[in-house]
Amino acid sequence: MAYTVHQAKTQFSKLLKEAEAGKEVVVMRGKKPVAKIIPIQGSGSEPAPFRLMGAFAGKVSWTEGTFAPLTDDELKELGWGYMTEAPLVGSEDDAPGQ
């Protein structure tokens, strides 16, 4: 079915329902077709994948030092050495007005 731009703007919900029903919806500017509204394949009909809560319980582990800050040498080794040259936040060198 073909609709003018004005009809498409005022009846957009109707056009979406028609497209979902498998009808061809064409939007015309004058006598020239400019757009086609089509349904997205599989939209809303596929259930969400099953996800089991706690599926990885007991399968993930870490050591005490995993979340410890990196040393200056480790930062340099990883290519983040420029961070060792930055002043510490809250240090006396960082105080305003000095």
Per-residue pLDDT at 78 exceeds 90:
yes
* Domain containing residue 10: 2-37
The number of distinct structural domains making up the chain is 1
Q: Which two tokens stand for residue 19?
A: 């497209």
46 in a structural domain: no
Per-residue pLDDT at 8 exceeds 90:
yes
Task: State the SS3 of the chain.
Answer: CEEEHHHHHHCHHHHHHHHHCCCCEEEEECCEEEEEECCCCCCCCCCCCCCCCCCCCCCCCCCHHHHCCCCHHHHHHCCCHHHHCCCCCCCHHHCCCC
28 in a structural domain: yes
> What's this model's pTM, rounded to 2 decimal places?
0.42
Q: What is the mean pLDDT of residues 8-25?
A: 92
27 in a structural domain: yes
Per-residue pLDDT at 93 exceeds 60:
no
Percentage of residues in the chain having pLDDT higher than 90: 47
Q: What is the mean pLDDT of residues 34-62?
A: 83
